[in-house]
Every structure is written in structure tokens, then in C-alpha cells.
Amino acid sequence: MLSDNAFERLNQYQILWLFVFFDLPTETKKDRKEYAQFRKSLQKDGFAMLQYSIYVRHCSSRENAEVHMKRVKSFLAPRGEIILFSLTDKQFGMMEFFRGQSLKVRPDTPQQLELF
């Protein structure tokens, strides 16, 4: 049986944060519409804006992250650049967030209800 501490360490490597970085054109009305639709699709799939054009989503497992990666790929914008990658919860916990020169509090792990 795993101790609580061992279980916590194990979870830090199994829980993932999925990031979407994007740079989409906004030159024409059609471009802006596609940009807005892409952002709305990310938000509908549970992504939250971390910074402008950087969205993040908490995933309970690698399998769950792969489901959301496939969803993002299904609504990719026809133009522009999009980067998808994941970090373990442990790696995410080592990130430092700054606003100006002040250290900013790391966002909390969201409490998500997952239904199967």
C-alpha cells in the first residue's frame, strides 16, 4: 500500500497540464471570426487563458490529456501557428509567475468533476 506522501509524488507525475500556444492572423474579418471561434472552442473544452494567446487545461491523466489534444486538433484554425504540449503537475509546480517584478501566486489546481 502506498503512503500518502508516495501517492502524492506519484500523482504529481501522472496529472498533466495541457498548454495551447497560438498565433493566429487577425487581418481580415474572416481571420478574426476564425480566431474568435478557436478561442471559444478552447474555452468550451475547459481551457483557461493563462496569458494572451496561451491557454491551459488541467488533465487528470495522460489518457485524458490525449482526448483534449485530439479535440484541439479537430478545431484547428486553417491559418496561423498552434503549439500543443503538456507538463506534469510536478513541472507545472516549479514554474514561477511574475507580474512586473513581483512574484505572482501560482494558479491553484482546479477542482474538476470527471464523469465517465
Go through 11-27 and write b for each residue having 16 or more CB atoms within 10 A of its CB, e for each that does not. eeeebbbbbbebebeee
Tell me which DSSP letter residue 13 carries.
Answer: H
The Cα-based distances of 103 to 24, 57, 108 in angstroms read: 30, 22, 15
- Is 33 a domain residue? yes
Low-confidence spans in the chain with pLDDT less than 50: 2, 6-7, 116
* Number of domains comprising the chain: 1
pLDDT number for residue 10:
53
- Is 110 a domain residue? no
pLDDT number for residue 101:
79
pLDDT number for residue 113:
53
pLDDT number for residue 4:
56
CATH number at residue 46: 3.30.70.240
pTM of the complete model: 0.78
- Is 21 a domain residue? yes
What range does the domain containing 70 cover?
A: 4-104
Q: How many CB atoms lie within 10 A of CB 88?
A: 16
pLDDT number for residue 111:
59
